[in-house]
Structure 1
Amino acid sequence: MFVIDVIPFARFAPAGALSYRFNEYVLPGTIVSVPLRKKTVPGIVVACTSVRDAKESIKTAPFVLRSGAVTTTGILPKSYRIALTKTATYHLLPMGVILREMIPEAFLTHGFPKKLFAGTGHSLSFCEKTYTLRIEEYKKIISCTKGTVLIVVPTAVEIDRFADTFPSAIVVTGALTQKKRLASLKKIKDADIIITTPKYSFIPIPHLAHIIIERESANSYLTVARSPIDTRIAINALAHERSMQTTIGDYPLRMEIRPKPGSALKSISASPIKIFDVRKKITQAPFKALPEQILSIIKSTHEQHGRSAIFAVRRGYASTVICRDCGTSVRTTDGRPLSLITVAGKRVFRSSNGDTVIDAKALCDKCGSWNLIPIGVGVERIAEAVRNNFPNAPLVLFDTNTIRTPRDARSASTKFDIPGTIIVGTEALIPWLNPSNPISLAVVASADSLLALPFWRTRERLARLAFSLTERAEKVAVVTRRPDDAIFTTLENRLDNAFFKEEDSMRKQLNYPPYGHIVTIRIESSITKIEKDTALVQSMLKPKTGIEIPDRYATQNKVVRTIVYKYIDIQKWSDEAQELSQKIYRLPPNITVRIDPESLW
């Protein structure tokens, strides 16, 4: 008799593994049907132990093991099991978390083929070109590939775009109904092209020969979880185990994967970027969200019935509220900064996590002054400037305050083609701008606000935003008061490697990716237990010591503390991660781990 630990796949299933009795030994990765809440659901075995070895833990367990009604229905192919194990080790996460994210229930229902054909050998190629040129490259790959080509695309709207470009492709996404999804899965055996999202990238394709990862810098490749999983790592691991070719496309590629991180971009046809230096002496004149130079080019574009898009880093009206009398930023009682936004036509202060909303007539929490001033440029502030200067122009807002569902986004995008339209949004707008139908003008109105964010990738993020707009707009304008920064030299002349060289040098000195890994261990605990939890984490890291980031108070009684651990020898990371993951598995759920996060907080 054996005890099997199973990850059940059902919406109502608990977060961890469930234990069942079974009469024979089964390999981890075996697909089973198990009883759960008066239903039978599919699951995957993650561990199998004899009752004799597990006798002590069975006696002390707070539950009774169920027996019977467990049946085996298949097994994950070896290449999938190894790739998933490598992914779990890399992210320092339990196997169950990886399984739930990378193996949708539909795969278990459909089943895995008995035989998967190996490729001709694993290789990695890069396509650092604009959208149109990438599509041409992908078409060449498809035409000369014997077998199925899998194209992984980050968002639903881009899936639709690729489906129009490759009409013979089979599309498999979570947006399909269960019936249509299973119908698509039945067709993959003979498909030449399959298009899917990161969630479905482990689709069981018998004759898979080539994987294309499109716009690989998109945040959609990171799962939405307390400890996000980078699906690009999982896809590359699967390609390696199935011995096949992988092509990664974007413009530009992330610094972590560029073959030569410090090199300049190649000379290709793309829209120009103009840098607007708006430095001027401080005067008593009111602050303008859009400088006169920018208003002038927007006006010219609008008069010619051209379409414009204006980008802000943050939603709301202003990202920060400052007290004129004492000079401090206004915060909530638990220490979160307040931003100024509009709700139901009324201006209010809201905390960064959205939990606290205060009337805009509130006083400074430090000195009690009423003399508060909003600082920074948000989507609402730019929209206000557009309404004041172009009252007759069609205006579309595209941020998380106005776009809450995919339906909202699709509805808003139908207005993008109206002549003279002005779109105001955040970076979330990027995939909704069609490179095949570029807008007339794109403006990054708050480059300095982006550079001021406490993220170690901020400059690269600005470069990616500006260069991606050259694929989607005929002209691109970037507004800054820091034109001497190397990033703006490279944006205006993409053949100049000033930014890439400087960024690569800094990362090398700091041992940041691609020269090392950053592990952040986030502790959420009460004031009385925070030191005990910190000691637990530090003991786990011994003989090394993690760097403690200053505490942040989530509430009056809850403290958030981050411990940063840098691993320098990237070639030996897999061995280090294997050892570290065994310790992290035993940490309580209030302690979470992230690998190479954008923010150290």
Structure 2
Amino acid sequence: MYVVEVMPLGKGISSAGLSYFSKTPYERGTLLEIPLRKKTVQGVVISSQAVSTLKATLRGAGFLLRRLPPQKHIEQLPPALLHTADELSEYYAATTGAVLFALLPNEIKNGEKRILGASQDLASCFGSEANQKSRKVYGSCKEQCHTYEVLQAPTDARVIAYQRIVRTSFAEGKSVVLVVPTVADGEFLFSILGARIAYRASFLHSGLGIRALRLAYKQLTESTDARLIIATPQYAFFTRGDVGTVILERSRSFSYRSRSRPYLDFRHALAAHARRENRRLITADALVRTEDEYLVREDRAVLFEDHHQKRLDLPGALVVIPMKHEANGQLDFRLFSDRLLAEMEQVRARSGRAFLFSARRGIAPIVACVDCGTILRCPVSGSPLALHRVMAGGMEERWLISSVSGYRRKADDLCPQCGSWRLRPRGIGIQQVYDELIRHVPRDDVFLFDHQSASTHKKATALRDAFYAKKKTVLLGTALALPYLHKPVGLSAIVNMDALRAIPSWRQEEESLGILLALREKTHGSVCVQTRSDEGDLIRYAHDGTIAAYYTEELAAREKFQYPPYGIFIHLTWKKDAGDVLTKAIAERLEAFAPSLYGAPDAEDRIGYGLIRVPSAEWPQDALVDALRTLPPSVRIIINPDRII
């Protein structure tokens, strides 16, 4: 008999490992179905030890071990993936099981559907053994070594570079993995890169049905030819053993960050996995992350083909439209300037198309009382409630929604503080922009692209196709629309640049510049920027394309305040209980690491926050990681979040 320690794979399961009796000594990394409470879940084996070596421990245990049930199918994870999960579990202060749960595709980790045939397992198909097998097939394949390369170029130039990489890799007998942040990016690149090599190209993503996934994995495992594999992050770890190059397309995208525990950054995870597998890693974007530029300047990364892009040459011409006018002694708060309306009319007269960008969702990001000045806030998080228009049963309803906690309620008629009926929206949301836009452009020619109208990839694709299928159209969208705009438009505009820059994120300057450059890239005419603020360096960088100067200034500011990449943010969030018992426990356990603990204003349920800063060279710290792991599961821990307030 053996005692098998198994790490359960599941949401919210923080156990370090569970022990079971078994007749079989399963190897580390084996996927098993294990009984947990009253259900069966997937688990990965950590270790197997003979009962004879653990007699004293078993006698002293105050509980009985359960037996593992007979296993119908046994699969084993590749060793490199296990080592990567171990490394990431230290960095993100999580368990190896939680990390593996985030890395594995749903079909594998849930054990619901078998992707491979009954005679195959994950390790033999995707691990180092498969790598050696592929190298035997291709005798000319050179020994590969890990490099971290940065490719900064517009989309057209990146696509040409990818075609060159694929040709070179195929000649060497190596496969290429191209990781995309969204399905829309993958479909676009697959239509170009896979057009002439469809028999050697695959696209893996969660939108595929089980039959299509099985066919794709069958092609990957049975083909002896090198292949191009385009995949979303979760599918990028299960490709082939002969992969020589991994490319992160649009590496600055927020979609690489997981939205559930342990809140992995898949860019970091893929880089760690590429290093374990000795693969070449290329991170690519029109504006790469400041962290990647830092690595290049510190000689810890190299430029792709030694090409240093100090200035981007993009087709769109940036035009700044000042909106700070005086009209009859009062400020003029028009949403559309005469210049922008004239530009739209000219483009539509030429049967062209226009794209308008709005930074905020809903009608308005804030609702305030005119009489007492009270701002309506979320009772859970304390964040301002945004006003949204929702269609229910063909009827329009207005709701107050918090983007932080998800709290929602129907819009108030009276101020909860003073009882006044004079509640007013403050700020500009995309639905308010839409209401104003259809006063100037026929409703049938306007397409609204936001989180409600494009709630799924299918709906988003249908909206995009309808926009391009008709002439003289205007697409009004948030950042959600940008990955879907692969054909140029005659005019683009940012309706309110001030609203974009006001988003409370320490990465917002980088994100704002990235959006400006993306609009210039997707536009062959003018890119209008309406702003009520004075022109600053950010507008100048976007106008001239001088990204090297931007990085110099941004890195200097981050070094001064010890923001990433010079420091590590460890952000905690929890719900305060009666007597603040949990807050006191957190403060006590983390006292040695000088946490900054603070609360949200005007929150009835009182949410607590904590922030710990650690120099990058000193993370992960064993003592701090152990302390974070002792915190209850109700405490959310995020490493380097995009927002710390």
When normalised by structure 2's length, the TM-score is: 0.84
**In the alignment, residue 609 of structure 2 is paired with which amino acid?**
T
Q: Displacement of 1:534 after TM fit?
A: 2.3
Q: Distance in 2 between matches of 1:158 and 1:596?
A: 25
The 1:307–1:261 alpha-carbon spacing in structure 2 relative to 1, beyond 3 Å, is: farther
**In the alignment, residue 296 of structure 1 is paired with which amino acid?**
A
**Gap runs ≥5 in structure 2:** 133-142, 299-307
Matched, 1:594 2:618: no
Q: Secondary structure at the match of 2:20?
A: strand
Moved more, 16-25 or 454-463: 16-25
In the alignment, which residue of structure 1 is the partner of 2:181? 154
Q: Secondary structure at the match of 1:142?
A: helix
Whether the aligned pair in 2 keeps the contact of 1:264 and 1:500 (CA below 8 Å) is no
In the alignment, which residue of structure 2 is the partner of 1:479? 530
In the alignment, which residue of structure 1 is the partner of 2:305? none
Q: Displacement of 1:347 after TM fit?
A: 5.8
Matched, 1:131 2:155: yes
Moved more, 158-167 or 97-106: 97-106
**In the alignment, residue 496 of structure 2 is paired with which amino acid?**
S
Q: Displacement of 1:424 after TM fit?
A: 1.1
Whether the aligned pair in 2 keeps the contact of 1:3 and 1:54 (CA below 8 Å) is no
Q: How does 1:357-396 map to 2 (within 5 A)?
A: 357-359=409-411, 362-391=413-442, 394-396=445-447
Q: Distance in 2 between matches of 1:53 and 1:155?
A: 52
Q: Distance in 2 between matches of 1:128 and 1:413?
A: 27
The 1:329–1:187 alpha-carbon spacing in structure 2 relative to 1, beyond 3 Å, is: same
In the alignment, which residue of structure 2 is the partner of 1:250? 285
Q: Secondary structure at the match of 1:81?
A: helix
Q: Displacement of 1:267 after TM fit?
A: 3.9
The 1:496–1:226 alpha-carbon spacing in structure 2 relative to 1, beyond 3 Å, is: closer
Matched, 1:469 2:472: no
The 1:447–1:198 alpha-carbon spacing in structure 2 relative to 1, beyond 3 Å, is: same
Q: Secondary structure at the match of 2:572?
A: strand
Q: Distance in 1 between matches of 2:423 and 2:35?
A: 60
The 1:399–1:194 alpha-carbon spacing in structure 2 relative to 1, beyond 3 Å, is: same
Alpha-carbon displacement from aligned partner over 1:418-452 (angstroms, at most 9, x marks no partner): 11111111111111111xx2111121112211221
**In the alignment, residue 104 of structure 1 is paired with which amino acid?**
P
**In the alignment, residue 473 of structure 1 is paired with which amino acid?**
T
Q: Displacement of 1:153 after TM fit?
A: 0.9
In the alignment, which residue of structure 1 is the partner of 2:572? 521
Q: Displacement of 1:82 after TM fit?
A: 1.1
Q: Distance in 1 between matches of 2:630 and 2:73?
A: 29
Q: Displacement of 1:470 after TM fit?
A: 2.2
In the alignment, which residue of structure 2 is the partner of 1:55? 58
Q: Distance in 2 between matches of 1:331 and 1:35?
A: 44
Q: Distance in 2 between matches of 1:298 and 1:354?
A: 36
Identical amino acids, percent of aligned pairs: 24
Q: Secondary structure at the match of 2:424?
A: strand
In the alignment, which residue of structure 2 is the partner of 1:188? 220
Q: How does 1:445-524 map to 2 (within 5 A)?
A: 445-474=495-524, 475-495=526-546, 497-524=548-575
**In the alignment, residue 242 of structure 2 is paired with which amino acid?**
H
The structure richer in helix per residue is 2
Q: Distance in 2 between matches of 1:439 and 1:53?
A: 73
Q: Displacement of 1:396 after TM fit?
A: 0.9
Q: How does 1:30-69 map to 2 (within 5 A)?
A: 30-34=30-34, 43-48=43-48, 51-52=54-55, 54-55=57-58, 58-60=61-63, 65-69=66-70
In the alignment, which residue of structure 2 is the partner of 1:426? 478
Alpha-carbon displacement from aligned partner over 1:494-547 (angstroms, at most 9, x marks no partner): 12655433322111111111111111011223233x3x3223323333422101
In the alignment, which residue of structure 2 is the partner of 1:444? 494
Q: Distance in 2 between matches of 1:297 and 1:374?
A: 29
**In the alignment, residue 163 of structure 2 is paired with which amino acid?**
K
Q: Distance in 2 between matches of 1:24 and 1:82?
A: 23
Q: Secondary structure at the match of 1:183?
A: helix
Q: Secondary structure at the match of 1:477?
A: strand
Whether the aligned pair in 1 keeps the contact of 2:149 and 2:282 (CA below 8 Å) is yes
Whether the aligned pair in 1 keeps the contact of 2:76 and 2:123 (CA below 8 Å) is no
Whether the aligned pair in 1 keeps the contact of 2:35 and 2:68 (CA below 8 Å) is no
In the alignment, which residue of structure 1 is the partner of 2:248? 213
The 1:261–1:485 alpha-carbon spacing in structure 2 relative to 1, beyond 3 Å, is: farther
Alpha-carbon displacement from aligned partner over 1:388-410 (angstroms, at most 9, x marks no partner): 11125511111112222222212
Whether the aligned pair in 2 keeps the contact of 1:490 and 1:498 (CA below 8 Å) is yes
Alpha-carbon displacement from aligned partner over 1:30-49 (angstroms, at most 9, x marks no partner): 23354679998754213556
Q: Secondary structure at the match of 2:80?
A: helix
Q: Distance in 1 between matches of 2:370 and 2:376?
A: 11
The 1:498–1:328 alpha-carbon spacing in structure 2 relative to 1, beyond 3 Å, is: farther
In the alignment, which residue of structure 2 is the partner of 1:303? 349
In the alignment, which residue of structure 2 is the partner of 1:117? 131
Match of 1:544 among 593, 596, 614: 593
Matched, 1:90 2:122: no
Whether the aligned pair in 2 keeps the contact of 1:549 and 1:562 (CA below 8 Å) is yes
In the alignment, which residue of structure 1 is the partner of 2:135? none
Q: Secondary structure at the match of 1:411?
A: helix
Moved more, 112-121 or 488-497: 112-121
**In the alignment, residue 626 of structure 2 is paired with which amino acid?**
Q
Count how many residue pairs are aligned between Structure 1 and Structure 2: 588
Q: Secondary structure at the match of 2:598?
A: strand
Q: Distance in 1 between matches of 2:218 and 2:309?
A: 45
Moved more, 71-80 or 499-508: 71-80
